[in-house]
Every structure is written in C-alpha cells, then in structure tokens.
Amino acid sequence: MKKKEKQSVQKPVLGWVLYDDTCGFCRRWIPFWSTTLRNRGFEIAPLQSVWLIEHLKLSDIKLLEDLRLLLKDGQQIQGANVYRYLMRRIWWAFPFYLLSIAPVTKTLFDRGYRAFANNRYRFSKACGLQHRPAR
C-alpha cells in the first residue's frame, strides 16, 4: 500500500485574525492556532502591523481593545464574536459555538471574554508570558 502524501493546497484567504502582539498570552495563543485557522482560510497578524494601523484607522486604545477579525470584504468583527465566527467554522469547535449563543451561556461567554480581555496583561504575567513593550 502506498502512503498518501499530503499536498499543501493554498486556501484562499477569507480574513485575518488580528491580535495584540504586546500581550504575552495573545502572542502565544493566536500563533498556536495558526495552522487550524489557515486550514480554514484565515491568516493571523498583529494589530500593531503597519498595514493594519493604516487600514483600520483606529486610535491606539481602540485598536488594542479587542481581538479582531478583518474579513476579505473589509467587514470587521471584534471581541467575543470573533471566537463565535471561527468556532462556527471548525467542526470540533461547533459545540462551543452553540454554547456561546445559547441564551444563558451567551451572557457568560461575553462576560468571560470581556473579563479576560480587560485583564490579559495580568493573565500573561501570572502565566509567565511576559508582554512585549509597545513599539
């Protein structure tokens, strides 16, 4: 029996998952999932990238407030909705998507995301994932 070789097929880019590169947790977590995301047509990029700063035209505070998803058509999704959008497209994460939209757990999911986002530098420090100074 011949072993089937995996062929690397370039998927069309559907969008970019944008993360805060100064956050130690974000800098570790998002690239960890890059292969899974890429297999579904999503690339990753730090929010501090020059092309994003110019494209998004947001203040520094607004820019780094949330995880963002920039779709190919220019639509932007941010915060907990980025996770929902992506979980809906990954077969094994779909049950988590369903939990994230159910009436009671939707509120918990949103609050959990917001609490983490607001304290991500503290979580990074507690986990020994030091932040990178802003450039």
pLDDT at 94 over 90: yes
Q: Is 5 inside a domain boundary? A: no
What are the φ and ψ backbone dihedral angles of 19, each rounded to 5 degrees?
A: -130, 160
Residue 23: inside a domain = yes
Tokens read off for 90: 């990954």
Mean pLDDT, rounded, of the chain: 86
Question: Is 41 part of a structural domain of the chain?
Answer: yes
Output 29 or 108, whichever has higher pLDDT.
108
What does the pLDDT look like over 28-67, one tens digit per residue?
888 999 999 999 999 999 999 999 989 898 888 888 889 9
Domain-located, residue 55: yes
**How much is the pLDDT for 1?**
46
pLDDT band (50, 70, 90) for residue 5: very low
Query: What's the total number of domains in the chain?
Result: 1
* d(C-alpha 2, C-alpha 85), whole Å: 38
Query: Is 109 inside any structural domain?
Result: yes
Residue 4 in any domain: the answer is no
In this model, does residue 25 exceed pLDDT 80? no
* pLDDT score of 125: 64
Say how many Å lie between the first and final Cα of the chain, rounded: 54
Look up the domain containing 28 and give its range: 15-126
Q: Looking at the predicted structure, is the pLDDT value of residue 92 above 60?
A: yes
Most confident of 75-79, 120-124, 128-132: 75-79
Please check whether residue 6 lies inside any domain of the structure: no
Asked whether the beta carbons of 88 and 94 are under 8 A apart, the reply is yes
Please check whether residue 121 lies inside any domain of the structure.
yes
Q: What is the mean pLDDT of residues 119-135?
A: 62
